[in-house]
Amino acid sequence: MIERNDIRAAVASGLIDERQASGLISLADSRRGARENLDPGDEPFELFKGFNEIFIVIGLLILSVGWMGVVGLALGDSIVDLQEYAGVVALIGAGLLWLLSEYFVRKRRMVAPAIALSVMFANNAAFGLMAVMTEPFMIAQNDYGSVPLPLFVATLALLVYWWRFRVPFAMAMIAVGLFAVAIVFAASRGGQVNDISDFFLLSAGGPFAWITLVLGLMVFAVAMVFDMSDPHRVTRRSANGFWLHVVAAPALVNTVALSLLDRDTSGANLVLLAFLALFALVAIVIDRRSFLIAAIGYIVALAATILDGDGAALTVLVLGIVLLLLGAFWERIRARILKLMPRFIPLHRLPPSHA
């Protein structure tokens, strides 16, 4: 029986090209029902394969609640004991989740349990390491100097988890973990957050918005590395890229859009419109709709900010029509745009147009 690893090896050796490999895998998935209704130009996206996976996820959630209950009974009614051993219990739980992942992820290849197990492993590892490695007295005095190291170690543990089980959703959590480490580290060095908008306003005092912007660009770059290594979206590398784009797009759009909206000038609003148009163009060229999803909210916010009444309603109406047209004719629009792209852009490493 030929497996996907055999097809990947055939592509690597030059026996078949990626388009042929994509056709073979799509045919196999179609015969199994996984991609039976997926159009050639659509993005593969799968949260679960069947209700049995949902059933297992519910079982995992109940198991985790039961685990915490049994541990609480074992430690007795002493809150002090519970707090003292909470970190060790969480780390033991992370080890048990790793063992469960060996069966449900590596052996059974289940999608929804893989996502649930990766989230639960990340939470247990982060909580356990925070409880064991941080200094509670420092945190009580608003000194977060002991927090970045356990957060960074937890992110590394999640990276090892991804390396072992290759769960694409774990990539998004790794990116979020890096954001958390950088922001907490900046806060521990004297940065102050007066409002949640400080994370995105470049004009705000502190480095947080610049951290969000730089890390957003870095995450986008890594996502493009995954995408360009698998332009036909045959392997899990494209799924890794998808989840990284989900994290990178809001970070980039939030920072630039809020910073421009904060200026509240006609020139800044025109720049914002141009930026959103450029963002949409990039999304179409790289064939990632998640970028447009991140920008939609700011187009509505811009309409509500600079327009009133009928003007805002008309803008939202036009936006809905544009989105529907993009959804209906995405491949045709993308084919026209790709023909206009300059030659220095490596189009051969981007998803081909099926129009």
- If asked whether residues 121 and 19 sit together in one domain, one would say no
Residue 222 lies in a domain: no
Residue 125 lies in a domain: yes
- If asked whether residues 70 and 137 sit together in one domain, one would say yes
Q: How many CB atoms lie within 10 A of CB 82?
A: 15
Residue 193 lies in a domain: no
Residue 142 lies in a domain: yes
Q: How many separate domains does the chain show? A: 2
- If asked whether residues 124 and 60 sit together in one domain, one would say yes
Which residue type sits at 277? A
Which residue type sits at 209? A
- Positive or negative, the CA dihedral 34, 36, 41, 46 is negative
pLDDT value for 327: 78
pLDDT value for 80: 47
Residue 150 lies in a domain: yes
- If asked whether residues 54 and 159 sit together in one domain, one would say yes
Measured N-to-C along each axis, helices 51-75 and 112-133 cross at an angle, to the nearest 10 degrees, of: 20
Please give the Cα distance from 333 to 327 (Å, whole number).
Answer: 10
E strand intervals along 9-54? none
Residue 106 lies in a domain: yes
Residue 130 lies in a domain: yes
First to last CA, the chain: 33
- If asked whether residues 101 and 158 sit together in one domain, one would say yes
The residue out of 139, 165, 191 marking a domain boundary is 165
pLDDT value for 163: 93
- If asked whether residues 52 and 132 sit together in one domain, one would say yes
Domain encompassing residue 138: 47-165
8 A C-beta contact, residue 230 and residue 242: no
- If asked whether residues 58 and 117 sit together in one domain, one would say yes
The residue out of 113, 130, 165 marking a domain boundary is 165
Residue 80 lies in a domain: yes
The residue out of 165, 188, 207 marking a domain boundary is 165
- If asked whether residues 59 and 152 sit together in one domain, one would say yes
Mean pLDDT by groups of 10 residues along the chain of 355 residues: 75 78 67 51 65 86 80 56 68 90 87 90 88 69 72 93 92 92 78 58 67 89 90 81 88 77 73 82 85 70 58 70 81 86 82 73
- If asked whether residues 27 and 57 sit together in one domain, one would say no
- If asked whether residues 5 and 58 sit together in one domain, one would say no
Half-sphere exposure of 109 (CA within 13 A, CB side): 5
- If asked whether residues 31 and 56 sit together in one domain, one would say no
8 A C-beta contact, residue 25 and residue 4: yes
Please give the Cα distance from 249 to 212 (Å, whole number).
Answer: 11
Please give the Cα distance from 177 to 154 (Å, whole number).
Answer: 8
